[in-house]
């Protein structure tokens, strides 16, 4: 297969390890524009009071994940539809890609760790799990909330989740699978981390006093996807056209079953 956006070595690592890092895909000025777009979305959330401060988490509550930022911001939509994003996703998936959603992360100083998890647990793509395209907008390392990946975990399918047992984490989580171990991923601004929808991954807490760890993640599925969870049914193709798929009811039932005794 001839690749344009992903090198043969990166494609091989993605297939074998479940993730790969593509250095410097976005230039410094492009990173600045992406960060500006996220700031505009965040500012609008503050203005409209959809972002509210909690006294329990006074800083972190002011910087929540910004969901589907491409839907209300023209510049961020253009970035989501960029040839590099769709081209990379298509090369990884081996077919035309469809955009599921986008999320901006600030990862403010003091932000908790994101527990190890699998993205397709919440996306519910069937029959294949899709992929993620994670743009590093700041330098990221274990000190300020950088990613961690579990190599080869994408081969294990959907794992049984558990509720986190510590106040330092949130959301569903999965343990490190037997005979696997988590590794840290260090990135520079403009680097992109791509990973499979079944790859177990998370991020460290931000232990710095002043440094944010900005990032933008896009999720894709292949055009052959037959169904997804109801909140993910409205997809976009590379031309920006809306594409719809049925609800994945079987994955929903499995998800409820996996959650019901996960304590």
Give the pLDDT confidence of 199-232 residue by residue, as tens digits. Answer: 999 999 999 999 999 999 999 999 999 999 988 8
Residue 231 has what pLDDT? 84
Question: CA geometry: angle at 64 spanning 59 and 102, to 5°?
Answer: 155
Topology (CATH) of 8-260: Jelly Rolls (2.60.120)
> Quick one: average pLDDT of 112-128?
93
Burial class (CB in 10 A: 0-12, 13-18, 19+), 191: buried
What is the pTM for the complete model shown? 0.92
pLDDT of residue 230: 80
Residues 52-103 have pLDDT tens digits of 999 999 999 999 999 999 999 999 999 999 999 999 999 999 999 999 999 9
Degrees, nearest 5: CA angle 211-212-214: 145
Better-predicted residue by pLDDT, 112 or 168: 112
Task: Give every CB contact of residue 31 below 8 A, 6+ residues apart in sequence.
Answer: 135, 137, 189, 190
- The predicted structure's pLDDT at residue 255: 59
| pLDDT at residue 162, as a whole number | 76
What pLDDT does residue 164 have?
52
Are the C-beta atoms of 245 and 235 separated by less than 8 Å? yes
**Mode of pairing for the β-strands spanning 192-196 and 131-136:** antiparallel
Res 169: pLDDT: 44
pLDDT at 171: 56
Q: Where are the domains of the chain?
A: 8-260
Show the beta-strand stretches assigned E in the chain.
19-22, 66-67, 97-105, 114-117, 131-136, 147-149, 183-184, 192-196, 201-203, 215-222, 234-236, 242-244
Q: Name the pLDDT band for 146 (thresholds 50, 70, 90).
A: very high
Is residue 165 over pLDDT 80? no
Confidence band, pLDDT 50/70/90 cuts, at residue 113: very high
Q: What is the DSSP letter of 56?
A: S
pLDDT in tens, 148-157: 999 999 999 9
Q: In the prediction, which pLDDT does 168 show? A: 42
């Amino acid at each position: 297969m001839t690749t344009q956006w992903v090198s043969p070595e990166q494609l091989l690592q993605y297939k074998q390890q479940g993730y790969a890092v593509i250095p410097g895909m976005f230039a410094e000025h492009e990173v600045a524009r992406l960060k500006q777009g996220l700031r505009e979305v965040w500012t609008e959330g503050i203005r409209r009071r959809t972002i509210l401060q909690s006294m329990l988490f006074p800083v972190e509550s002011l910087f929540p994940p910004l969901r589907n930022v491409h839907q209300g911001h023209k510049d961020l939509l253009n970035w989501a539809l960029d040839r590099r994003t769709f081209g990379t996703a298509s090369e990884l998936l081996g077919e035309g890609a469809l955009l599921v959603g986008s999320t901006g992360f600030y990862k403010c100083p003091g932000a908790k760790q994101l527990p190890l998890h699998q993205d397709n647990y919440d996306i519910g793509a069937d029959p294949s799990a899709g992929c993620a395209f994670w743009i590093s907008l700041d330098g990221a390392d274990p000190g300020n909330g950088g990613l961690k990946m579990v190599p080869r975990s994408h081969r294990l399918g959907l794992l049984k989740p558990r509720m986190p047992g510590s106040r330092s984490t949130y959301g569903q989580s999965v343990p490190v699978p037997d005979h696997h171990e988590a590794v840290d991923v260090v990135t520079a601004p403009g680097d992109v981390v791509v990973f499979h929808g079944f790859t177990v991954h998370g991020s460290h807490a931000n232990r710095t006093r002043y440094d944010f760890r900005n990032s933008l993640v896009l999720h894709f599925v292949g055009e052959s996807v037959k169904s997804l969870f109801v909140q993910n049914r409205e997809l976009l193709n590379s031309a920006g056209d809306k594409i719809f798929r049925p609800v994945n009811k079987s994955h929903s039932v499995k998800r409820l079953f996996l959650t019901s005794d996960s304590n």
